Amino acid sequence: MKSVTIQVFGRVQGVGFRYLTKMVADKLNIKGTVANLNDGSVFIEAEGEEDHMNEFINAVKLSPSPSGRVEKTTITDRPLQNFTDFRVTN
């Protein structure tokens, strides 16, 4: 299992980014959360099998939203949180 936080910068708010990220997470059996931050970025906590996590991270970097544009991501490994599902917050 792999667990990370991802902060995504660019045109990622107001374009359906969080909901499409959830759809990708659900498809890949990724658990965690996705939320908008006040600075205009999106914050993701995600965990899952390493191969699925790599696919999820690549999808986020390419922007799951066709209207979105990812300019930068920061990814940090973290201890497992044992999420039970993937949720869109705030």
Active site residues: 18, 36
Give 85's DSSP letter.
S
